[in-house]
Amino acid sequence: MASEEFPGWHGTTIIGVKKGGEVVIAGDGQVSLGNTVIKGTARKVRRLSPGGYDIVAGFAGSTADAFALLERLEAKLEATPGQLQRAAVELAKDWRTDKYLQKLEAMLIVSDGKEMYVITGAGDVLEPEHDVTAIGSGGNYALAAGRALMDSDLSAEEIARRAMAIASDICVFTNGSLTVETIR
């Protein structure tokens, strides 16, 4: 079924902040169906360790679709150890061209501590400007707040937490129950 056939799946804000030699990816825990909160403590930021390399990924969109993409990303990372950009590009190519994957509705923020990318089903692998990026229903609010805080003395984690707090105050599909992962 296409997403337009569902009665308004919404939710999730994920932010990635790169500052001071570390990358933080944080995500809220709210899952909504229409105007109803289904769950408030979902874990949308995960640590992956394919081939012994540490990767952090956050996802927005359909949970089942995101898990399918995370599994594919892990397989790409195992095939190209230590090459996050190559694995991300290979995933994006598959996602755009494979008939099964084309139906998946999610976005990912991934990082190995050095590089950070947004991966989309349109075939995009985007490296954020200004070392901050965000996706999901409250993504624009978190992005604006994060960018405004980047010149401060705050750490990457403090920026991510404050930006998520601002997004959760504005976006009704985002809550303050955070999962935060740091990678150096």
Collapsed DSSP state (helix, strand, coil) of residue 81: coil
Residues above pLDDT 90, as percent of the chain: 67
Biggest CA-to-CA distance, the chain? 47
Residue 45 has pLDDT above 60, yes or no: yes
- Model confidence over 85-94: pLDDT tens digits? 999 999 999 8
Scored b (16 or more CB within 10 A) or e, 46-55 reads: bebebeebeb
pLDDT of amino acid 169: 97
| Per-residue pLDDT at 183 exceeds 70 | yes
12 catalytic? Reply is yes
- What value does the mean pLDDT take over residues 38-56? 89
Could you tell me which residues are beta bridge partners of residue 19? Answer: 22
CATH architecture, domain 3-171: 4-Layer Sandwich (3.60)
Collect contacts of 125-131 with beta carbons under 8 A, ≥24 apart.
125/85, 125/88, 125/89, 125/92, 128/16, 128/18, 131/17, 131/18, 131/19
74 pLDDT higher than 90? yes
- Which of the residues 12, 80, 174, 182 is marked catalytic? 12
pLDDT score recorded for residue 111: 97
pLDDT computed for residue 10 by the predictor? 53
pLDDT above 70 for 5? no
Confidence of residue 101 (pLDDT cuts 50, 70, 90): confident
The half-sphere exposure of 91 on its side-chain side, counting CA atoms within 13 A, is: 34
Q: pLDDT, tens digit, for every residue of 128-156?
A: 999 999 999 999 999 999 999 999 999 99
Amino acid identity at 55: I
Quote the pLDDT of residue 118.
Answer: 96
Per the CB < 8 A criterion, the answer to whether 169 and 17 are in contact is no
Q: Which amino acid is at 76?
A: K
Task: Please report, in angstroms and rounded to a whole number, the separation of the first and last CA atoms in the chain.
Answer: 40
Specify the DSSP element, H or E, that contains 179: strand 179-183
Q: What is the mean pLDDT of residues 82-107?
A: 87
